[in-house]
Amino acid sequence: MSRKDRMSGNQAIAVAIRQINPDVIAAFPITPSTEIPQYVSAFKADGLIDTEFIAVESEHSAMSACIGASAAGVRAMTATSSAGMALMYELLYVAASDRLPIVMAAVNRALTGPININADHSDSMGAKDSGWIQIYSENAQEAYDNMLMAHRIAEHPDVLLPVMICQDGFITSHAIENIVIEDDESARAFTGEYNPAKHLLNPKESLGVGPYSVSAFYMEMKRSQFEAMNNARKVIRDVSEDFAKRMGRSYGMFEAYRMEDAETAVLLMGSSAGTGKDAVDALREKGVKAGLVKLRVFRPFPAEELATVFRGVKALGIMDKCDGFSGNGGPLGAEVRAALYGKSDGIKTCNYIFGLGGRDIKVEDFRVIFGELKDGIDGKPLPDCRYIGVRG
Protein backbone atom coordinates (compact mmCIF):
# COMPACT_ATOMS: atom_id res chain seq x y z
CA MET A 1 0.00 0.00 0.00
CA SER A 2 1.16 3.50 -0.76
CA ARG A 3 1.35 6.09 2.02
CA LYS A 4 1.24 9.86 2.17
CA ASP A 5 4.27 11.61 3.62
CA ARG A 6 6.11 14.92 3.61
CA MET A 7 9.69 15.09 2.40
CA SER A 8 12.15 16.95 0.21
CA GLY A 9 13.16 15.98 -3.29
CA ASN A 10 16.54 14.75 -2.05
CA GLN A 11 14.90 12.58 0.60
CA ALA A 12 12.40 11.26 -1.95
CA ILE A 13 15.26 10.27 -4.26
CA ALA A 14 17.05 8.60 -1.34
CA VAL A 15 13.92 6.63 -0.39
CA ALA A 16 13.61 5.42 -3.98
CA ILE A 17 17.26 4.34 -3.89
CA ARG A 18 16.65 2.46 -0.62
CA GLN A 19 13.70 0.66 -2.18
CA ILE A 20 15.67 -0.21 -5.32
CA ASN A 21 18.61 -1.38 -3.17
CA PRO A 22 21.27 -1.05 -5.91
CA ASP A 23 24.48 -3.08 -5.78
CA VAL A 24 26.88 -0.12 -5.83
CA ILE A 25 26.69 3.59 -5.11
CA ALA A 26 29.79 5.72 -5.60
CA ALA A 27 29.52 9.38 -4.70
CA PHE A 28 31.39 12.49 -3.63
CA PRO A 29 29.56 15.28 -1.77
CA ILE A 30 28.65 18.53 -3.51
CA THR A 31 25.87 20.99 -2.70
CA PRO A 32 22.92 20.58 -3.21
CA SER A 33 23.07 16.82 -3.91
CA THR A 34 25.10 15.97 -0.77
CA GLU A 35 22.02 14.87 1.18
CA ILE A 36 21.35 11.97 -1.17
CA PRO A 37 24.54 9.95 -0.45
CA GLN A 38 24.21 11.11 3.16
CA TYR A 39 20.78 9.50 3.47
CA VAL A 40 21.98 6.40 1.62
CA SER A 41 25.01 5.98 3.89
CA ALA A 42 22.66 6.18 6.90
CA PHE A 43 20.46 3.46 5.34
CA LYS A 44 23.59 1.36 4.91
CA ALA A 45 24.69 1.92 8.51
CA ASP A 46 21.22 0.99 9.77
CA GLY A 47 21.19 -2.25 7.77
CA LEU A 48 18.28 -1.17 5.56
CA ILE A 49 20.20 -1.82 2.35
CA ASP A 50 23.10 -4.07 1.42
CA THR A 51 24.45 -1.68 -1.21
CA GLU A 52 28.22 -1.34 -1.50
CA PHE A 53 28.77 2.35 -0.75
CA ILE A 54 32.04 3.68 -2.17
CA ALA A 55 33.19 7.01 -0.75
CA VAL A 56 35.52 8.29 -3.46
CA GLU A 57 37.90 11.25 -3.63
CA SER A 58 36.15 13.09 -6.50
CA GLU A 59 33.19 13.02 -8.83
CA HIS A 60 35.48 11.82 -11.63
CA SER A 61 36.29 8.81 -9.47
CA ALA A 62 32.61 8.33 -8.61
CA MET A 63 31.67 7.88 -12.25
CA SER A 64 34.77 5.73 -12.85
CA ALA A 65 33.67 3.41 -10.04
CA CYS A 66 30.13 3.26 -11.44
CA ILE A 67 31.48 2.39 -14.88
CA GLY A 68 33.56 -0.46 -13.47
CA ALA A 69 30.68 -1.77 -11.37
CA SER A 70 28.17 -1.59 -14.22
CA ALA A 71 30.57 -3.30 -16.61
CA ALA A 72 30.92 -6.07 -14.03
CA GLY A 73 27.17 -6.65 -14.26
CA VAL A 74 25.63 -4.90 -11.26
CA ARG A 75 23.34 -1.93 -10.71
CA ALA A 76 25.36 1.23 -10.14
CA MET A 77 24.18 4.70 -9.13
CA THR A 78 25.55 8.10 -8.16
CA ALA A 79 24.42 11.64 -7.38
CA THR A 80 26.01 14.98 -8.17
CA SER A 81 25.56 18.64 -9.07
CA SER A 82 27.19 21.53 -10.93
CA ALA A 83 31.01 21.43 -11.02
CA GLY A 84 30.84 17.84 -9.76
CA MET A 85 28.98 16.84 -12.89
CA ALA A 86 31.40 18.89 -14.98
CA LEU A 87 34.28 16.90 -13.47
CA MET A 88 32.47 13.76 -14.67
CA TYR A 89 31.96 14.95 -18.26
CA GLU A 90 34.76 12.82 -19.72
CA LEU A 91 33.34 9.72 -18.03
CA LEU A 92 29.73 10.49 -18.99
CA TYR A 93 30.71 9.92 -22.62
CA VAL A 94 32.48 6.70 -21.67
CA ALA A 95 29.44 5.35 -19.78
CA ALA A 96 27.12 6.07 -22.68
CA SER A 97 29.42 4.73 -25.41
CA ASP A 98 30.04 1.56 -23.37
CA ARG A 99 26.24 1.13 -23.13
CA LEU A 100 26.23 0.96 -19.34
CA PRO A 101 22.81 1.53 -17.67
CA ILE A 102 24.06 3.70 -14.79
CA VAL A 103 21.51 5.93 -13.05
CA MET A 104 22.44 9.37 -11.72
CA ALA A 105 20.48 11.71 -9.47
CA ALA A 106 21.39 15.10 -10.95
CA VAL A 107 20.47 17.96 -8.62
CA ASN A 108 20.69 20.95 -10.92
CA ARG A 109 22.91 23.83 -9.84
CA ALA A 110 24.50 26.71 -11.73
CA LEU A 111 27.86 25.88 -13.21
CA THR A 112 30.75 28.08 -12.06
CA GLY A 113 31.54 30.93 -12.70
CA PRO A 114 30.93 33.11 -10.95
CA ILE A 115 30.46 30.56 -8.19
CA ASN A 116 26.81 30.02 -7.26
CA ILE A 117 25.09 27.19 -5.38
CA ASN A 118 21.53 27.73 -6.63
CA ALA A 119 19.56 26.15 -9.44
CA ASP A 120 19.75 26.48 -13.15
CA HIS A 121 20.24 23.88 -15.86
CA SER A 122 23.74 24.74 -17.05
CA ASP A 123 25.26 21.60 -15.51
CA SER A 124 23.01 18.99 -17.12
CA MET A 125 22.76 20.98 -20.37
CA GLY A 126 26.55 20.81 -20.57
CA ALA A 127 26.09 17.04 -20.83
CA LYS A 128 23.10 17.11 -23.19
CA ASP A 129 25.04 15.53 -26.06
CA SER A 130 26.94 12.96 -24.00
CA GLY A 131 24.54 10.14 -24.85
CA TRP A 132 22.67 10.07 -21.52
CA ILE A 133 18.89 9.96 -21.31
CA GLN A 134 17.73 13.06 -19.41
CA ILE A 135 14.46 13.23 -17.46
CA TYR A 136 13.47 16.40 -15.54
CA SER A 137 11.27 16.62 -12.45
CA GLU A 138 8.88 19.42 -11.50
CA ASN A 139 8.55 18.43 -7.83
CA ALA A 140 9.51 15.83 -5.23
CA GLN A 141 6.79 13.43 -6.37
CA GLU A 142 8.11 13.41 -9.91
CA ALA A 143 11.69 13.05 -8.69
CA TYR A 144 10.68 9.94 -6.70
CA ASP A 145 8.60 8.45 -9.51
CA ASN A 146 11.22 9.19 -12.17
CA MET A 147 13.89 7.47 -10.08
CA LEU A 148 11.73 4.34 -9.74
CA MET A 149 11.34 4.26 -13.53
CA ALA A 150 14.96 5.03 -14.36
CA HIS A 151 16.45 1.53 -14.08
CA ARG A 152 13.61 -0.03 -16.08
CA ILE A 153 14.40 2.40 -18.91
CA ALA A 154 18.19 2.22 -18.70
CA GLU A 155 18.39 -1.58 -18.44
CA HIS A 156 15.94 -2.42 -21.21
CA PRO A 157 17.81 -4.56 -23.79
CA ASP A 158 16.73 -2.22 -26.59
CA VAL A 159 18.24 0.76 -24.75
CA LEU A 160 21.19 0.02 -22.42
CA LEU A 161 22.00 3.69 -21.89
CA PRO A 162 22.67 5.65 -18.70
CA VAL A 163 19.92 7.88 -17.29
CA MET A 164 20.10 11.08 -15.27
CA ILE A 165 17.08 12.10 -13.20
CA CYS A 166 17.21 15.88 -12.81
CA GLN A 167 15.59 18.13 -10.21
CA ASP A 168 16.14 21.81 -9.41
CA GLY A 169 18.58 22.38 -6.56
CA PHE A 170 17.07 23.74 -3.33
CA ILE A 171 13.76 24.58 -5.05
CA THR A 172 12.90 20.88 -5.35
CA SER A 173 15.79 19.14 -3.61
CA HIS A 174 15.34 20.82 -0.22
CA ALA A 175 11.72 22.05 -0.13
CA ILE A 176 9.35 19.85 1.90
CA GLU A 177 6.28 18.74 -0.06
CA ASN A 178 3.40 16.32 0.27
CA ILE A 179 4.27 13.11 -1.55
CA VAL A 180 2.95 9.59 -2.06
CA ILE A 181 5.49 6.85 -1.31
CA GLU A 182 4.92 3.30 -2.50
CA ASP A 183 5.49 0.36 -0.17
CA ASP A 184 8.88 -1.28 -0.52
CA GLU A 185 7.54 -4.50 -2.01
CA SER A 186 5.59 -2.73 -4.76
CA ALA A 187 8.51 -0.43 -5.61
CA ARG A 188 10.97 -3.33 -5.85
CA ALA A 189 8.53 -5.42 -7.86
CA PHE A 190 8.13 -2.57 -10.35
CA THR A 191 11.87 -1.97 -10.70
CA GLY A 192 12.67 -5.69 -10.89
CA GLU A 193 16.04 -7.42 -10.80
CA TYR A 194 18.92 -6.59 -13.10
CA ASN A 195 20.20 -9.60 -15.04
CA PRO A 196 22.47 -8.34 -17.83
CA ALA A 197 23.01 -10.60 -20.82
CA LYS A 198 26.71 -9.67 -20.94
CA HIS A 199 29.14 -8.58 -18.24
CA LEU A 200 32.83 -8.78 -17.43
CA LEU A 201 32.51 -11.34 -14.63
CA ASN A 202 30.79 -13.99 -16.75
CA PRO A 203 33.27 -16.91 -16.75
CA LYS A 204 31.60 -18.46 -19.80
CA GLU A 205 32.29 -15.58 -22.16
CA SER A 206 35.18 -13.28 -22.97
CA LEU A 207 34.15 -9.65 -23.16
CA GLY A 208 35.86 -6.31 -23.62
CA VAL A 209 34.29 -3.07 -22.41
CA GLY A 210 35.53 0.28 -23.68
CA PRO A 211 38.12 -0.93 -26.20
CA TYR A 212 40.07 1.40 -28.45
CA SER A 213 37.88 1.90 -31.49
CA VAL A 214 39.64 2.53 -34.77
CA SER A 215 38.00 4.37 -37.66
CA ALA A 216 36.75 1.10 -39.13
CA PHE A 217 34.39 0.62 -36.16
CA TYR A 218 33.85 3.98 -34.43
CA MET A 219 30.92 5.17 -36.57
CA GLU A 220 29.12 1.86 -36.19
CA MET A 221 29.37 2.17 -32.41
CA LYS A 222 27.98 5.72 -32.53
CA ARG A 223 25.15 4.55 -34.75
CA SER A 224 24.28 1.90 -32.17
CA GLN A 225 23.97 4.66 -29.56
CA PHE A 226 21.78 6.63 -31.97
CA GLU A 227 19.51 3.62 -32.44
CA ALA A 228 19.38 2.96 -28.69
CA MET A 229 18.36 6.56 -28.00
CA ASN A 230 15.61 6.27 -30.59
CA ASN A 231 14.48 3.00 -29.02
CA ALA A 232 14.30 4.77 -25.67
CA ARG A 233 11.26 6.75 -26.84
CA LYS A 234 9.02 3.69 -26.89
CA VAL A 235 10.58 2.21 -23.76
CA ILE A 236 10.00 5.43 -21.79
CA ARG A 237 6.36 5.45 -22.88
CA ASP A 238 5.90 1.75 -22.08
CA VAL A 239 7.52 2.03 -18.64
CA SER A 240 5.43 5.12 -17.88
CA GLU A 241 2.24 3.30 -18.87
CA ASP A 242 3.13 0.35 -16.63
CA PHE A 243 3.89 2.77 -13.80
CA ALA A 244 0.48 4.41 -14.25
CA LYS A 245 -1.27 1.03 -14.10
CA ARG A 246 0.54 0.00 -10.94
CA MET A 247 0.93 3.29 -9.07
CA GLY A 248 -1.84 5.45 -10.52
CA ARG A 249 0.37 8.37 -11.59
CA SER A 250 0.71 9.01 -15.30
CA TYR A 251 3.64 10.53 -17.20
CA GLY A 252 4.53 11.13 -20.82
CA MET A 253 7.43 12.69 -22.68
CA PHE A 254 5.89 16.03 -21.71
CA GLU A 255 2.82 17.45 -19.97
CA ALA A 256 0.46 19.67 -21.99
CA TYR A 257 -1.42 22.07 -19.70
CA ARG A 258 -4.52 23.82 -21.06
CA MET A 259 -3.21 23.47 -24.60
CA GLU A 260 -6.45 22.36 -26.31
CA ASP A 261 -7.24 25.79 -27.80
CA ALA A 262 -4.12 27.76 -26.79
CA GLU A 263 -3.09 30.63 -29.06
CA THR A 264 -0.05 31.59 -26.95
CA ALA A 265 2.03 29.09 -25.00
CA VAL A 266 5.28 28.62 -23.12
CA LEU A 267 7.56 25.59 -22.98
CA LEU A 268 9.90 24.94 -20.04
CA MET A 269 11.40 22.26 -17.80
CA GLY A 270 11.56 21.67 -14.05
CA SER A 271 10.12 23.36 -10.98
CA SER A 272 9.15 26.64 -12.67
CA ALA A 273 6.29 24.85 -14.42
CA GLY A 274 4.19 25.18 -11.26
CA THR A 275 4.44 28.98 -11.32
CA GLY A 276 3.74 28.94 -15.05
CA LYS A 277 0.54 26.93 -14.53
CA ASP A 278 -0.67 29.48 -11.98
CA ALA A 279 -0.06 32.23 -14.52
CA VAL A 280 -1.91 30.31 -17.23
CA ASP A 281 -4.90 29.78 -14.92
CA ALA A 282 -5.02 33.50 -14.07
CA LEU A 283 -4.86 34.46 -17.75
CA ARG A 284 -7.54 31.94 -18.67
CA GLU A 285 -9.88 33.57 -16.13
CA LYS A 286 -9.42 36.80 -18.10
CA GLY A 287 -10.25 35.10 -21.38
CA VAL A 288 -6.67 34.77 -22.65
CA LYS A 289 -6.13 31.50 -24.52
CA ALA A 290 -2.82 30.68 -22.81
CA GLY A 291 -1.20 27.27 -22.45
CA LEU A 292 1.95 25.59 -21.14
CA VAL A 293 4.00 22.55 -22.02
CA LYS A 294 6.33 21.11 -19.40
CA LEU A 295 9.03 19.05 -21.04
CA ARG A 296 9.82 15.97 -18.94
CA VAL A 297 12.17 14.10 -21.28
CA PHE A 298 14.89 16.20 -22.92
CA ARG A 299 16.89 13.22 -24.21
CA PRO A 300 15.63 11.63 -26.37
CA PHE A 301 14.04 14.85 -27.59
CA PRO A 302 10.32 14.45 -28.54
CA ALA A 303 10.54 16.63 -31.67
CA GLU A 304 7.58 15.23 -33.62
CA GLU A 305 5.28 15.16 -30.60
CA LEU A 306 6.06 18.79 -29.74
CA ALA A 307 5.50 19.90 -33.33
CA THR A 308 2.07 18.29 -33.11
CA VAL A 309 1.06 19.80 -29.75
CA PHE A 310 2.07 23.31 -30.90
CA ARG A 311 0.32 23.07 -34.27
CA GLY A 312 -2.51 25.44 -33.36
CA VAL A 313 -0.34 27.88 -31.40
CA LYS A 314 0.35 31.31 -32.95
CA ALA A 315 3.18 32.45 -30.64
CA LEU A 316 5.47 30.39 -28.41
CA GLY A 317 7.85 31.38 -25.61
CA ILE A 318 10.65 28.84 -25.22
CA MET A 319 12.09 29.20 -21.72
CA ASP A 320 15.69 28.16 -21.05
CA LYS A 321 17.13 27.95 -17.55
CA CYS A 322 20.61 28.36 -19.00
CA ASP A 323 22.20 30.27 -21.86
CA GLY A 324 23.88 28.40 -24.70
CA PHE A 325 26.10 31.44 -25.45
CA SER A 326 25.54 30.94 -29.14
CA GLY A 327 24.33 34.54 -29.34
CA ASN A 328 20.95 33.12 -30.29
CA GLY A 329 19.55 31.65 -27.06
CA GLY A 330 19.70 28.47 -25.02
CA PRO A 331 19.77 24.76 -25.88
CA LEU A 332 16.04 24.23 -25.44
CA GLY A 333 15.34 27.11 -27.81
CA ALA A 334 17.58 25.58 -30.47
CA GLU A 335 16.01 22.13 -30.11
CA VAL A 336 12.41 23.37 -30.25
CA ARG A 337 12.96 25.63 -33.23
CA ALA A 338 14.59 22.74 -35.07
CA ALA A 339 11.60 20.55 -34.18
CA LEU A 340 9.14 23.13 -35.53
CA TYR A 341 11.07 23.81 -38.74
CA GLY A 342 9.14 22.52 -41.74
CA LYS A 343 6.26 21.33 -39.57
CA SER A 344 4.89 24.38 -37.76
CA ASP A 345 6.72 27.23 -39.46
CA GLY A 346 3.92 29.72 -38.87
CA ILE A 347 4.53 29.91 -35.12
CA LYS A 348 6.27 33.05 -33.90
CA THR A 349 8.84 32.25 -31.23
CA CYS A 350 10.97 34.00 -28.64
CA ASN A 351 13.60 32.24 -26.54
CA TYR A 352 13.50 33.54 -22.96
CA ILE A 353 16.51 33.03 -20.69
CA PHE A 354 15.36 32.94 -17.06
CA GLY A 355 16.15 31.76 -13.56
CA LEU A 356 19.95 31.74 -13.86
CA GLY A 357 21.75 31.16 -10.58
CA GLY A 358 18.46 30.61 -8.77
CA ARG A 359 16.76 33.88 -9.79
CA ASP A 360 13.02 33.62 -9.06
CA ILE A 361 10.55 33.47 -11.92
CA LYS A 362 7.25 35.03 -10.85
CA VAL A 363 3.67 34.92 -12.09
CA GLU A 364 4.14 38.52 -13.18
CA ASP A 365 7.11 37.50 -15.35
CA PHE A 366 4.91 34.97 -17.10
CA ARG A 367 2.25 37.66 -17.64
CA VAL A 368 4.90 39.80 -19.33
CA ILE A 369 5.92 36.88 -21.54
CA PHE A 370 2.36 36.08 -22.56
CA GLY A 371 1.76 39.79 -23.21
CA GLU A 372 4.74 39.95 -25.52
CA LEU A 373 3.59 36.80 -27.32
CA LYS A 374 0.15 38.36 -27.84
CA ASP A 375 1.83 41.49 -29.23
CA GLY A 376 3.76 39.21 -31.58
CA ILE A 377 0.50 37.79 -32.90
CA ASP A 378 -0.76 41.33 -33.45
CA GLY A 379 2.25 42.19 -35.59
CA LYS A 380 4.89 43.54 -33.19
CA PRO A 381 8.26 41.89 -33.91
CA LEU A 382 9.45 39.36 -31.32
CA PRO A 383 13.17 39.22 -30.52
CA ASP A 384 14.90 35.91 -31.20
CA CYS A 385 16.04 35.78 -27.60
CA ARG A 386 15.90 37.91 -24.48
CA TYR A 387 16.53 37.66 -20.75
CA ILE A 388 13.45 37.86 -18.50
CA GLY A 389 13.54 38.94 -14.84
CA VAL A 390 16.95 40.61 -15.06
CA ARG A 391 17.75 44.04 -13.64
CA GLY A 392 18.96 47.00 -15.69
Asked which of 247, 273, 296 is the last residue of a domain, the reply is 247
Partner residues linked to 317 by β-bridges:
266, 350
Looking at the structure, tell me whether residues 105 and 46 fall in a common domain: yes
Looking at the structure, tell me whether residues 186 and 78 fall in a common domain: yes
Query: Average pLDDT of the chain?
Result: 97
- Number of CB atoms found within 10 A of residue 213's CB: 13
Asked which of 213, 247, 281 is the last residue of a domain, the reply is 247
Residue 210 per-residue DSSP state: S
Spatial CB neighbours of 246, under 8 Å, sequence gap ≥ 6? 186, 190
Looking at the structure, tell me whether residues 153 and 294 fall in a common domain: no
Q: What is the pLDDT of residues 277-336, one digit of tens each?
A: 999 999 999 999 999 999 999 999 999 999 999 999 999 999 999 999 999 999 999 999
Could you tell me if 317 and 266 are in contact, meaning their C-beta atoms sit under 8 angstroms apart? yes
Torsion sign across C-alpha atoms 230, 155, 149, 88: negative
Please give the single-letter amino acid code of residue 248: G
- Classify burial at 40, counting beta carbons within 10 Å of its beta carbon; exposed 0-12, middle 13-18, buried 19 or more: buried
pTM over 0.85: yes
Q: Is 165 helix (H, G, I), strand (E, B) or coil?
A: strand
Q: How many domains does the chain have?
A: 2
Looking at the structure, tell me whether residues 259 and 142 fall in a common domain: no
Could you tell me if 10 and 36 are in contact, meaning their C-beta atoms sit under 8 angstroms apart? yes
Please give the single-letter amino acid code of residue 321: K
Looking at the structure, tell me whether residues 208 and 260 fall in a common domain: no
pLDDT over threshold 90, residue 345 = no
Range with the lowest mean pLDDT among 28-32, 207-211, 214-218, 336-340? Answer: 207-211
Domain range holding 307?
A: 254-387
Looking at the structure, tell me whether residues 203 and 274 fall in a common domain: no
Instruction: Confirm whether 152 is domain-assigned.
Output: yes
Looking at the structure, tell me whether residues 194 and 54 fall in a common domain: yes
Residues 58-63, mean pLDDT to the nearest whole number = 98
> Percent of the chain beyond pLDDT 90?
96
Please give the single-letter amino acid code of residue 146: N
CATH number, position 275: 3.40.50.920
Could you tell me if 132 and 161 are in contact, meaning their C-beta atoms sit under 8 angstroms apart? yes
Tell me what pLDDT residue 136 has: 98
* pLDDT-derived band at 211, boundaries 50, 70, 90: confident
Looking at the structure, tell me whether residues 292 and 344 fall in a common domain: yes
Could you tell me if 389 and 362 are in contact, meaning their C-beta atoms sit under 8 angstroms apart? yes
Looking at the structure, tell me whether residues 183 and 280 fall in a common domain: no
Asked which of 219, 247, 275 is the last residue of a domain, the reply is 247
Looking at the structure, tell me whether residues 260 and 242 fall in a common domain: no
Tell me what pLDDT residue 353 has: 98
Instruction: Confirm whether 392 is domain-assigned.
Output: no
- Classify burial at 237, counting beta carbons within 10 Å of its beta carbon; exposed 0-12, middle 13-18, buried 19 or more: middle
